[in-house]
Every structure is written in structure tokens, then in C-alpha cells.
Amino acid sequence: MLRREIARNIFDYALKSVLPQNLMSKQCHLEKEMLHVEDKIYDLPEYKNLYVFGSGKASYAIAVEIEKILKSTIYKV
């Protein structure tokens, strides 16, 4: 394999690992009504409201991934 191909493969791997859909699925998941974010656990029924805030280029994509994770707990009026 050429050096250029190796470098390209390393770059592609690094880029894919930080895509919101990949990053969020590794760092955040829901078990029953417990939200796990890295090493923290949140018991969602203890909270009246849950807000997602963000800034920067990836904010929308990350919010979409959070919505997918929390889909069963989101109540829309």
C-alpha cells in the first residue's frame, strides 16, 4: 500500500470517528429511562424539562442524534 493511501485511510478513519452519528452513539445511550452520557447517568423522570443547547457547525447534527436517542422520551405538545 502506498504511503498516500495509508495516510488517506488514517484520515478517513479519524474523520468518521468524530461524525455526530458515530460519536453520539458511543458516548450517549438510553437504558429504560436512564440517560447515560459518558460516565454520567441521568434519571430522566426526575427532570421536568430537558433542553438541548449547542453552538457551532455540528450543533444541528448532534441535536438530531440526541433526538434519535431520546425519541421514546420526547413528548410533543
Count of domains for the chain: 1
pLDDT, position 41: 96
User: Is residue 77 pLDDT above 60, yes or no?
Assistant: no
pTM: 0.70
Question: Which amino acid does the sequence have at 39?
Answer: D
Residue range 9-17: mean pLDDT, rounded: 92
Boundaries of domain holding 57: 3-73
Helix (H), strand (E) at residue 8? helix 3-17
Q: Are 69 and 20 in contact (CB under 8 A)?
A: no
